[in-house]
Amino acid sequence: MIKKLLGLAPQQEADGSYSPSKVALKLATSDKTDFDNVSYRKYRGKQSKILAIFTERKNMTMQNGKKFSTGNHPVEALLPMLHLRNAGFDFEIVTPNGKPVVFEMWAFPEKDEHVKAIYRHYKAKFDKPGKLRDYVDATFAESGNYAAVFVPGGHGAMLGIPEDKNVGKALRQAHANDLFTVTLCHGPGSLLATTLDNQPFLYKGYKMAVFPDSVDKKTPMIGYLPGQMPVGLSERLKALGAEVVNSKSDDTVCLDRKLITGASPLASDKLGKLAAETLLKELN
C-alpha cells in the first residue's frame, strides 16, 4: 500500500501482468528521444536488406511468480531502424513463429514524430511479420541481398529467442557469410542461441555492451520490474567467454569484428549511428 501511495508499485494490466510503476516510468522513459536525424550517403548496393528478429511474446514470469509486461523496447528497436533506413537499408521483419511483434508500449515516445513515423511505416509488417524459419531455410541462407541481422532489445528478447534453434542458425549463417549482427540491451540474449545443440559459443572472446545483471537486480526497488529476473544475461555471457565492456546501463556502444552492440535504451541513438556508418563503410 505504501509503495502504491508513493508511486513505486508496478501497475497491473488487464491480463494480470505488471508494467513499471509511475516513478519508474518517469525515471526510465521519455515522450521524446535523443534521435539525431543524420543525413547519410545512401547505400545503393545489392546487400540492402536487414533481417530484424523481434519477439512475439509479452509476459515474463519473475522469480516471485508475477508477470512483467514486456516485449521489444520501442526506442531500442526504432531508433537504430531510423538510422539504418536513412542510410539506405530496409528490413525484413520476422518473429520466431510469425505471430505479431510485441512492443513495450508503455515505453513508446508519444511526442517523437520520427519514431512515430517509422512505426507507422512498418506497422503492417509488425502486425504480420514473416516466420523466421522461412528465412533461415530459404531466402536468408541463399541470398546475397542481406547486410546484417538486427535483434532489438527489451526484456522480451529473452523470451524464447535464446532457446530458438532458428535464431542460432540465422546468427551462424550471418557469421559464416561475413554479415553484421546488431543488438543491444537484452537483445544479446539472442547470442546464447548459438550454443544450442552443444555448439561452441560463436562470440567467445568478443567484446560487447549488454544490460548489466546488477542493474536488473536493483530495478524492483523502484517498481520497474515486479520481481527479480528469472535468469540473468550479462553474467551468462561472461561465463561463456564474452568480454562485457560496460558496468552501467548507459550509452556504451561497442564494435568488435562484425558484432555491434549497445548497453541500454540510452545507447539506441549511438548504436544506430554506429551501425549505419559501419555498414556504409564496409559495403560501399
In this predicted structure, the answer to whether residue 139 has a pLDDT above a threshold of 90 is: no
Residue 115 lies in a domain: yes
pTM: 0.96
- Are residues 181 and 174 in contact, defined by beta-carbon separation less than 8 angstroms? yes
In this predicted structure, the answer to whether residue 6 has a pLDDT above a threshold of 60 is: no
49: which strand partners?
Answer: 90, 146
Residue 15 lies in a domain: no
Number of domains in the chain: 1
pLDDT in tens, 26-68: 999 999 999 999 999 999 999 999 999 999 999 999 999 999 9
Residue 11 lies in a domain: no
Residue 2 lies in a domain: no
Pick the range with the lowest mean pLDDT from 141-150, 200-209, 211-220. 141-150
pLDDT in tens, 92-134: 999 999 999 999 999 999 999 999 999 999 999 999 999 999 9
Query: What integer pLDDT is reported at residue 198 of this predicted model?
Result: 95
CATH number at residue 226: 3.40.50.880
Instruction: Kindly list the catalytic residues.
Output: 185
C-alpha cell at 215: 542493474
Q: Which residues of 161-178 are buried (b: 16+ CB within 10 A; e: fewer)?
A: bbebebbbbbbebbbeee
Average pLDDT, the chain: 95
What is the Cα–Cα distance from 79 to 118, expressed in whole angstroms? Answer: 9
Residue 9 lies in a domain: no
> Which of 169, 55, 147 has the alpha carbon at shortest distance from 101?
55
Residue 236 lies in a domain: yes
pLDDT in tens, 80-98: 999 999 999 999 999 999 9
Residue 4 lies in a domain: no
Domain span including residue 89: 20-29+42-283
Q: How confident is the model at residue 1 (pLDDT cuts 50, 70, 90)?
A: low
Residue 164 lies in a domain: yes
